[in-house]
């Protein structure tokens, strides 16, 4: 099984943020990946046999430090990444500006995908609103970067069979969740990373075996929780 890794923000300003990874630790992880794994673009994982156990790197939300901190390190190790941008967050404080997003999009190591328009809980949206989010985020990003946008990451990793169908209808070639959905064309699983992941945990997470056990545990836990309870929100903190 391929391992698609999910990062958010690479900085050291808020040690309590579970999604934050320091630049030093991020570089340690990239260095390990460059020496021990075959890292490919996200699109390439769609075309290659899962037995090859490739690794792809993704970033969610569109933080500015993805350009200022993460990209120079990815360049150093020549590792590609896909950046899933919340279209409505472009230009906000700590997020990429329009110019910065265009700079990322032009970079040969970077692919831009959509992470929705406003980072909403898609499973709580009406079909009409979900369709609007999918189409409008794609349109805005495409206009901003002047290039196609046909990859999607569900905000909070949340999806269901109806949304998976809708994503295809709205022009997306493939979509990724975080353990949820069927792991089919529009709910492919990814491995979330955060501040608790030391190198040993990272190595385990970068292997398909960990992904399978973690996915089962996560799905079992969610199946037992009432929908949209505070506890279930807690489980989404990495996404
Ligand atoms: Zn997100």
Domains, the chain, in order of start with CATH, read 3-232 (3.20.20.370)
Q: Is the pLDDT of residue 109 over 70?
A: yes
Cα 99 to averaged position of ligand 1 atoms, centre (Å): 21
Find the 156 Cα to ligand 1 centroid distance in Å. 6
In this prediction, residue 182 carries a pLDDT of 80
- Per-residue pLDDT, 50: 79
Provide, rounded to the nearest whole percent, the portion of the chain with pLDDT above 70: 86
- pLDDT higher than threshold 70 for residue 21: yes
pLDDT in tens, 191-214: 999 988 899 889 988 886 666 666
Mean pLDDT of 45-61: 91
Q: How close is the Cα of 134 to the center of ligand 1, in Å?
A: 14
Tell me how far the alpha carbon of residue 154 lies from the centroid of ligand 1, in angstroms.
8
How close is the Cα of 222 to the center of ligand 1, in Å?
18
Query: In angstroms, what is the span from residue 116 Cα to ligand 1's centroid?
Result: 9
Could you tell me the pTM of the whole model?
A: 0.89
Give one word for 179, left, alpha or beta, with left for phi > 0 and alpha for psi -120 to 50.
left
What's the 209 CA to ligand 1 centre distance in angstroms? 25
pLDDT tens-digit readout, 152-165:
999 999 999 999 99
pLDDT tens sequence across 61-86: 999 999 999 999 999 999 999 999 99
Residue 7: which pLDDT band, with cuts at 50, 70 and 90? very high
Q: Tell me how far the alpha carbon of residue 239 lies from the centroid of ligand 1, in angstroms.
A: 5
Question: pLDDT confidence of 133, banded at 50, 70, 90?
Answer: very high
CA of 217 to the centre of ligand 1 (A): 21
């Amino acid at each position: 099984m391929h391992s698609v890794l999910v990062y958010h923000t690479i900085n050291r300003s808020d040690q309590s943020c579970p999604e934050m990874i320091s630049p030093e630790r991020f570089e340690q992880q990239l260095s390990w990946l460059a020496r021990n794994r075959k890292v490919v673009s996200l699109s390439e994982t769609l075309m290659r046999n899962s037995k090859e156990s490739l690794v792809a790197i993704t970033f969610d939300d569109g933080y500015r430090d993805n350009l200022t901190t993460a990209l120079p390190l990815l360049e150093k190790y020549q590792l590609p990444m896909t950046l899933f941008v919340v279209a409505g967050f472009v230009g906000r404080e700590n997020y990429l500006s329009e110019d910065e997003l265009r700079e990322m999009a032009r970079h040969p190591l970077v692919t831009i995908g959509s992470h929705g328009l406003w980072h909403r809980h898609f499973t709580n949206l009406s079909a009409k609103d979900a369709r609007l989010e999918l189409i409008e985020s794609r349109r805005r990003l495409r206009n901003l970067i002047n290039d196609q946008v046909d990859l999607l990451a569900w905000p909070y990793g949340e999806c269901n069979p109806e949304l998976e169908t809708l994503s295809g209808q709205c022009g997306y070639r493939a979509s990724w969740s975080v353990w949820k959905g069927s792991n089919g064309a529009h709910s492919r699983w990814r491995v979330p990373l955060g501040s608790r992941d030391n190198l040993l945990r990272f190595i385990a997470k970068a292997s398909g075996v960990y992904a399978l056990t973690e996915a089962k545990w996560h799905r079992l836990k969610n199946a037992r929780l009432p929908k949209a309870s505070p506890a279930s929100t807690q489980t989404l903190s990495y996404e």
